[in-house]
Amino acid sequence: MELLYILSIIIVALLFGVLLILLSARKHRDTADIAELFGTHGRDMRDSVTRQLNEGSTEQFRRFGMISDSVNKTLAESRDESNKQIRTLTEQIDARLTSIQRGNAEHAETVNVAF
């Protein structure tokens, strides 16, 4: 009877050992599946974030280009307006100088005629 009792305990212990091995193997497999899922999900998220950053950068460069074009257009218009005002001022100064020179010439003739 003792031998049967010992064999029963050994069989139960072996079955329990096999059960533990099966459970740990399944747990390991589940852990590997979860790790793979997270790895895949992590890669997908990283790719998504990278794509969003690239799209955001492209959008920012496009906006920068629009702002740059607007600034260049405004500067060109200001430059043209300034050149126009300088030409007008130059013409007015030339006309004034010509008028003054004529006045001086007439005054000199008047003075010469008087002597």
Compute the average pLDDT of residues 21-43.
65
Burial per residue of 9-22, b for 16 or more beta-carbon CB atoms within 10 angstroms, e otherwise: eeeeeeeeeeeeee
Compute the average pLDDT of residues 78-94.
92
pTM for the full predicted model:
0.43
Confidence of residue 60 (pLDDT cuts 50, 70, 90): confident
| 40 half-sphere exposure, CB direction, 13 A CA radius | 5
pLDDT value of residue 62: 81
Least confident of 11-20, 66-75, 104-113: 104-113
Confidence of residue 90 (pLDDT cuts 50, 70, 90): very high
